[in-house]
Structure 1
């Protein structure tokens, strides 16, 4: 693993391990419809998250002490989501609502204004990566296991405030989960080692991998910076085609929540392979390739490494 990545992970892991000794968290996966409520009555507090990736992270830290639901379904496009009246009714029954922040959920401020429950922004305190040539923060910080550890610590803190009696439980599970992320970071670095140095360029539809490419020392290019602005303009397509040709990039990729038509055209025009579908803003269903956050990171690394090493 690169020294800077290992150092950042060690600091984050040590902070969590200092809270409590580790225990092994269970690995619940998201439901086909995470918004669907359980008919059975529960005394557990309801924690609502904005999308499925965060819901899985919260479940890992919470265990069985809280009920966790995602506002958006598996496969939903999170940036431009339009909450429904049912979402609002569900939120009014929640005791905590958790968002990513950094401008990811453009709809969240208006949504939470009608909800009495407190909200927590997991990206607060992170040093964000800026979108190229702008002052705007890239919101996809969870795609880095380093930033993921920051999220885990924030989740443990929020749950402990909601449920002080479970503070040791949350700290222990967070420490174990952070250690899992440390292991995944090693796996990611090892996967990229298979890629020749001159081919270490990640070409994707959305610029959702800036935190991951920073950690792994990759270059990146994309058709649009965030899905809320998704426009594969002729200029953007031409710039990506030039990058693929100049760097002889062997494979290009696209995310699961958007059309891959434009990127497949890039592949056709350059002779690059379409390397596969990457998951960012949503997990898959329980039987799909990325039923959990850890699986999402591993799938991304393996898909990218396999494509670029071809």
Structure 2
């Protein structure tokens, strides 16, 4: 009898339903786009089920939510967004969904690049001198890794008095702040610390797991950063100039000493002017830029126009703000970062 009971229990334990129940995640999380969703998955592990609102190869600047997206947001235990004006549609979506929480803004604590008059202004680091411990990575008194990190409505980084994320129909630039912080892996370390703190708050029983996962992933990010510097350093400094679709790689350029030219600014929601295009064509001719790159989530039209006028050669596709499909070259953040660096180095060197 005991043998039969054990056998029945063993059979039930192997059924898909039993396996699903045993592996059910403790937390339902929603992230605004694939790059962020992947980092949340790395920290959350099996305790967190992560849904990305913007899908693979999708442009987070001009996202249009579906009813399914609204439902996912409504049922979420926690919501993550990058911030700095990237998700101009987020406030409207929260209002439509009835989600009553406050999104975790993972870029809180990162000193943004400021865009003014088509030119970027770095705060906190020179192109080659961005250090893991510099002031540009944290505000005074802000602890990225502590359990006491408050993501509530009263937190200065989350309270937006009089500030509408969804204003101007997606053209919100947040005073010219560049939102593409993830293209510097050191900034993603700040994301990780904020995600660890937020998940630990909503799921205290998993705090040790989140902390351990975060520490392991931070080590991988540090290794990726060191590898990237070695790769880019193999390119002569005067050849580190490339043309891309829009200004999404400023943080990467500042970190590794690469100059990026782009007809569009920090958002793809607005078109480049004829004057912008003419200026870039002149700069390419003057600075002897060797190669151009398309981006997976944006139109290649302007880049093709400029390339045709200047004779620069194609360097391939970069993943700026969206991961690839799982069978593509950039299905995770770290794979995306490695792929982009390899493509850039090859293009700057003029490899065939």
Specify the TM-score bucket, using the shorter chain as the normaliser: 0.7 to 0.9
How many angstroms apart in 1 are the aligned matches of 2:205 and 2:71?
A: 28
- 2:199 is matched with 159
Matched, 1:117 2:101: yes
Contact 2:263 2:277 in 1 (8 A): yes
| Residue 86 (structure 2) aligns with | 104
Query: 1:16 — aligned with what?
Result: none
CA distance in 1, matches of 2:88, 2:209: 33
CA contact (8 A) 1:264 1:274 kept: no
> 2:303 and 2:103 mapped to 1: Cα distance?
37
Aligned to 1:301: 341
- Give the aligned partner of residue 292 of structure 2: 252
**1:65 equivalent in alignment to 2:47:** yes
* C-alpha RMSD of the superposition: 1.9
CA contact (8 A) 1:245 1:270 kept: yes
Q: 1:181 aligns to what SS in structure 2?
A: helix
Matched, 1:89 2:71: yes
Moved over 4 A (4+): 38-41
Task: Determine if contact 1:145/1:181 at 8 Å carries over to the other structure.
Answer: yes
- Structure 1 position 117, deviation (Å): 3.4
SS of the equivalent of 2:280 reads helix
Please say which structure displays the higher CA radius of gyration.
2
2:231 is aligned with 1:191:
yes
What TM-score, normalized by structure 2, do the two folds share? 0.74
Instruction: Give the corresponding residue for 1:53.
Output: 35
CA pair 201-183 structure 1, distance change in 2 beyond 3 A: same
Distance 1:220 1:307 in 2: 13
Give the total of aligned pairs: 273
Matches within 5 A, 1:1-310: 42=24, 44-113=26-95, 114-133=98-117, 135-310=175-350
TM-score (norm 1): 0.84
Note the residue ranges of structure 1 that are not aligned, 5 or more in a row: 1-37
- Give the 3 Å change call, closer, same or farther, for CA 273–39 of structure 1 in structure 2: farther
Higher-RCO chain (CA-CA 8 Å, sequence separation at least 6): 1
